[in-house]
Amino acid sequence: MTMRVGLIGAGNIGGSHARDLAGRVAGSSVSVVFDVDRDRASALAAEVGGRAVGAYQDVIEAADVDAVLIASPDDCHAEQALACLAVGKPTLCEKPLAPNEADARRVLDAEVAIGRRLIMMGFMRRFDPGYVELKATFGPDGIGDPLIIRNSHRNEVAPYGLDSALSITNAAIHEIDINRWLTDDEYAWVEVLTGRNGPLTPEGQHDPLFLLLKTRLGTVVDVEMYVQSQLGYEVTCAVTGGTGAAEMADGAYVNASRALHRGHSLPQQWLGRFGEAYRLQLQAWITSLEQGTVPPGASTWDGYVGAVVATAAVASLRTGQRQAIELPPRPALYS
C-alpha cells in the first residue's frame, strides 16, 4: 500500500520532505502540492510526480490524498491543521504548531474533541541518532539522571529575517521540545537574558539570546540561541548527569587534517545536519499510517506545550522577568 501525501508549502523544507517521500521513504508518494507561489508548486509537483492545485483546501479534500504534510510558514499551521482535523486526515505539521499559545490551544481542543491522534508534529530531533543516543546514556547504567543540560543553536544567518521573538517561537522551540523529551519532564519556569549583541544585530533586536529553564524535577537547562552567528549551522547539547556526563556528537564522523587545520566543516543550514532525522521521521510517520498505529513522534499536546513555553519566553524577553509555566491538565488522549 502506498500512502499518498498532499503537501502544503513547497519551500525549503517542504521540498526536502517531498523529495524524501517520493524517493527515500518506503511506502509513500506525493500526489498533490499547493503553494501560494504557483510556479514553485508546479515545479515541485513535476519533480516528485504529483500535481499542483490552487488552494490548500484542494490538497486536504483531494480523494487521492491519504495524509497531509503542512510545511507552510509558521502562522499558517494552526488554520491548516484545523482544516485537516475537520476532514479527519492524518497530518504531519511542521513546527511550531502555532507561534502563540491561543492558536495552538484551538488545534489541541479540536483534536481532543475528535478523540483521535491525527496530528504529528515535525519535531524531528526526536528521531536524530545523536539525540537518541544521548538520551540512551541516561539512567542507572549510564550517566544517571540529567542534572544540567547545556544547548547551543547557531545559524549562519537568520533564515526568516532577524526578529528576537521569532528566534524563540521558530528556532529555540526545537530546544524547548527536545529538552522536554530528553528529561521526560515539564518546565517550571523560563527566563530570557539578553546582553551584548553580535555585529549583525539590527537596532531594537537581540541576538544572541540566552534562555534559562528549570524543569519541575529541577533539571537546569540553558540554550544559547544565536541566529546571525555567521559561523554556519551548529547545534550542540551537553548533559551533566548524576554519575557521569555526555555530549552529543554533531553528525560529523570524520575529522580531517589539511592545510594546518584539523576538524570538519559545518553545514550552512539544518538540512546538512538533520537530513537523516527528517527522513527517519517521515519513515516512522508513513509506517504508523500503514499500520494504523498512533503517530510515533511529537503530539499535538507536545506542540501545544511548546507554544506555551515559547509564549512565556517571549514575555520574559519583553519584560526581563522570569515567567512561571502553567499548563492545563494533560488530556487523556495523550497519556
- Could you list the residues that contact ligand NAD (CB under 6 A)? 8-14, 34-37, 40, 56, 71-74, 76, 94-95, 122, 124, 170, 270
Give yes or no for a contact between 110 and 83, defined as CB atoms under 8 angstroms apart. Answer: no
Smaller CB distance to ligand NAD: residue 138 or 278? 278
| Separation CA 66–CA 3 (nearest Å) | 6
Smaller CB distance to ligand NAD: residue 143 or 286? 286
Q: For Cα atoms 26, 30, 31, give the angle at the middle one, nearest 5 degrees.
A: 135
Alpha-carbon torsion angle 293, 298, 304, 308, nearest 10 = 160
For 253, phi then psi, to 5°, come to -110, -5
Give yes or no for a contact between 34 and 288, defined as CB atoms under 8 angstroms apart. Answer: no
C-alpha 180: how far from its chain's center? 13
Size of the chain, expressed as the number of residues it contains: 335
Would you list the DSSP string of 52-69?
E-SSHHHHHH-TT-SEEE
Residue 105: CB atoms within 10 Å: 17
User: Cell 504548531 maps to which residue?
Assistant: 97
Give yes or no for a contact between 168 and 313, defined as CB atoms under 8 angstroms apart. Answer: yes
Q: Which of 44, 43, 246 is nearest to 143 (CA)?
A: 246
Residue 206 Cβ, how far from ligand NAD at the closest point, in Å? 20
By beta carbon distance, the residue nearest ligand NAD is: 11
Smaller CB distance to ligand NAD: residue 80 or 137? 80
Q: Which of 67, 244, 224, 104 is nearest to 153 (CA)?
A: 224
User: Cell 475528535 maps to which residue?
Assistant: 114
| Separation CA 93–CA 84 (nearest Å) | 10
Count helices and strands in the chain by DSSP H and E runs? 10, 15
